[in-house]
Amino acid sequence: MTARAFLGMDVGGTTTAAGLVTATGRVVIARRRATRGPGDGDAVPRILALAAEVAGLARPRGYRVAGIGAGVPGIVDATGVIGGEAHNVPELGGVPLARLLTRALGVPAVVDNDVNALALGEWMWGAGRGARSLVLLALGTGVGGGIVLDGRLYRGAAGFGGELGHVPVKLDGRACVCGARGCLKAYVAGPDLAAEGSRRLGRPVDARELFRLAADGDATAAAVVDEALEALAAGLTIIVNGLNPERLLLAGGIARALAPRAAELRARLARRAYAGALATTRLRFLRLDKRTTVRGGAALARHAAIRRTRA
């Protein structure tokens, strides 16, 4: 007798992870591969091959794959076609990945934005379990958001719901990759922090070195990090006052770097947000790895299976 499980995938700009996840959120198989090989444009066949590899390991372990879910770095429409905003893996733009996964493995597949998947996974099995509403903000190479309201993933009319990295935190501020100015991403994403730090310090630094210099007392680096903390407080205020979620979760490499200053972030947030809204929103920093994030894709698949059953 085989038990039901879901195949979850986390497609990143550098690495793609896939795992077999039980209905209780336990990862029983996990594999990682480079998203791209030596040749250009081979991301899609590599993703399909990794999915097939993990699916092939399921039955010998006593499981059957009931569905596939994949989180990808881009906007995804309701049919599972990835839009042109997949900046980290541009060859995915226009690809009907959900249909390709279904065709390859013969089970239902759902594809969504990677942070939407993370948010649903944390709501279903992680730090958001038991909450009716949560917002997850992922701070790393970019800034993405995932929103769960009243137990449902909120995607917006065209899949752009949760693009919280592009809320304005400073009018006429720094230029952002999206073409606007003053976006949250322009102040807290890793490449943007590195660019600003390099400009002010007069030499190239990456985000990791910038945080190290700030911790060691370099005034210039500390000023850049302080500005990031203030911008993040402004962005979180928009979430707290605008949505008042039960849980507000921060994930990603930049969030980990800012975690030692969590108390200061909360104090800055308290100066801006409605006291009643903030009192009912629990802020938490997460430490996630690829083995954990495959649960996001699995949560997409399980959520879709539950909805099909209830339809």
CATH number for the domain formed by residue range(s) 3-120+289-310: 3.30.420.40
At residue 89, the pLDDT reads 83
228, 185 Cβ separation under 8 angstroms:
no
308 pLDDT tier (thresholds 50, 70, 90): confident
- At 216 the three-state DSSP class reads coil
At residue 159, the pLDDT reads 82
Question: What whole-number percentage of the chain has pLDDT above 70?
Answer: 99
pLDDT for residue 311 is more than 70: no
The string over 248-262, giving b where at least 16 C-beta atoms fall within 10 Å of a residue's C-beta and e elsewhere, is bbbbbebbbbbeebe
pLDDT for residue 38 is more than 80: no
Ranked by mean pLDDT, which of 32-41, 46-55, 151-160, 301-310 comes out on top? 46-55
Cα 215 to Cα 190, 222, 309, distances in angstroms: 17, 7, 52
Cα gap 9→181, rounded to integer Å = 33
Q: pTM of the entire structure?
A: 0.92
At residue 80, the pLDDT reads 87
40 pLDDT tier (thresholds 50, 70, 90): low
Radius of gyration of the chain (CA): 20
| pLDDT tens, position by position, 102-134 | 999 999 999 999 999 999 999 999 999 999 999
Average pLDDT of span 178-192: 95
| pLDDT tens, position by position, 127-172 | 999 999 999 999 998 899 999 999 889 998 888 889 999 999 999 8
| pLDDT tens, position by position, 70-98 | 999 888 988 889 987 777 788 888 999 99
At residue 239, the pLDDT reads 97
Intervals of CATH 3.30.420.40 along the chain: 3-120+289-310, 130-285
Average pLDDT of span 238-258: 96
At residue 158, the pLDDT reads 83
Which residues on adjacent β-strands are paired with residue 248?
Answer: 135, 283
Helix axes 190-201, 219-243, angle to 10 degrees: 150
At residue 37, the pLDDT reads 79
* 130-285: CATH topology: Nucleotidyltransferase; domain 5 (3.30.420)
Average pLDDT of span 270-275: 97
